[in-house]
Structure 1
Amino acid sequence: MKYVDSTQVQKRMNSRIFNNNFAKLLFLIATLFGLLVLIILFYRVISQSLGWIDLQFITNKLSTNAEKAGIMGAILGTLWLMLVVAPITMLLGVGTAIYMEEYAKKGKLQSFIQTNISNLAGVPSIVFGLLGLTIFVRGADLGNIVLAGGLTMSLLVLPIVVVASQEAIRAVPNFLKEASYGMGATKWQTIRTVVLPASLPGILTGAILALSRAIGETAPLVVIGIPALLIPLPDSIFDKFTILPMQIYYWTIDSALVAEYANLAAATIVVLLFVLLVMNSIAVIIRNKFQKRY
């Protein structure tokens, strides 16, 4: 019988306990640091926006006078942009995911396409801005209108929807598909009545993340030349526009000259956060509803 040194065992136990406590402390510090930065950010933004957010600020147009400036144009531009981005990314993203998971033959070509889709999710947003400038603004001669901006932002967030939708489709149990095939359903009928309803919560989660990124991006729109000047309110997807992040960007730059613009930028950040919160809340409610159903 092999002799076990109790001293060595105790040392190993103490070492494991120390490593566990150290890792726990390290992760706690990382979490607290993130929360601290978030609290400082919220405090700074909210404190600077106090007294600036009112009905006049929400409903007025842009103005060179900080006291009369409003963000109605930026709000409408943001909503018009989302009306373009949401259907395009959902249709193309979910359609691509269905093809890749249900129809495409497994092989080198499928693996190559999958790798490139995953890599596109990490490409800097300014690259998509250059792509949109080349294809939509100059190539298609659309100019810097809502449609061009929406198509550019759709390219940016499309890989997120594709990857999330693929993961959701993969998570559907095979026995559900086999039961559908056993009842004589075709592949498309199985996808439409079994796969999509079961994977819808995951797909909506990907859509939430994609739209949240699209509504907060600025670099692609700066590249394609979206203005922040005193432009008319957009009435359609063929009008020039600006959005909330663009307005925050320009007001932050101009705050070096006019101090009040920093307060306007902070107030716009609060409005943008509120819009994001409302969008995400609605999407989460829809996702939970379908999750309970299926």
Structure 2
Amino acid sequence: MIELLLLVLTGAFAGTLGGLFGIGGGVVIVPVLYLVFMQGGADPEVATKTAIGTSLATIIVTSYRSIKAHAQRGAVNFDVLRRWGPFISLGAVLGAILARAVSGDVLLGFFAIGITGVAIQRLRGQRGAQKTISIPPLVQRILATLTGLFSALMGIGGGVIGVILLTLQGKPIHKAVATAAGFGMAIAIPGAAGFALLGLGQGEMEWAVGYVHVIAFLAVALGTLIFAPIGASLAHKLSAEKLSRVFGVYLLITAVLLLREAFFT
């Protein structure tokens, strides 16, 4: 019961952050799921991949709730989602396939390094007006594919990368956050399906379908379902500068702990 409550609270926190920052919440969900699975006696390799696969499944819920709340305020650029979505999904499928061939420690280390980059970006905050650049359509497709690939490997929704790319192209921050929330759907649906299918017969845990744990998914999804719209509402009312930096500190601490788990235990 304590573990289930922890997962629901994790989903609530991740859902709030998903709505507020346009992220899928995987940077919060994956470390908690990994620790819960390890406490339950799971094999570290299976625990890592199941944490990532389950996180992707929960991002379907977070992204849907976030984008719906943002769309009600007219902040979502659906043209960008239509153009980038197929390539983001392609990258997510490639990421799920690649994850099967990569060891759990490497995936854990890759995730830790990835969230370190996210933490640094959050701690830096907004430093004046950003320079707007023009990204050619072919480069946009390549970046969209890479966004899906790396996000699937890390079990995140791609919102952080999406916000950076969209703001670089001159999109207002609130619209960038709202649109990037939609990246999660393009990543999470094919990514979670890939982890579920490719994990079948790979020593999956009890109550898991491949590398997606059903009970953990339901517990986390409950929290995200309720709190994602709250985060989206906050994004349109409050300055997220201080919260962004606190979140960055949390990510740095998490990254250090995961790097220790991956390479020094």
TM-score of the two chains, using structure 2 as the length reference:
0.32
* Higher RCO structure, 1 or 2 (CA under 8 Å, sep 6+): 2
- Structure of greater Rg: 1
TM-score of the two chains, using structure 1 as the length reference:
0.30
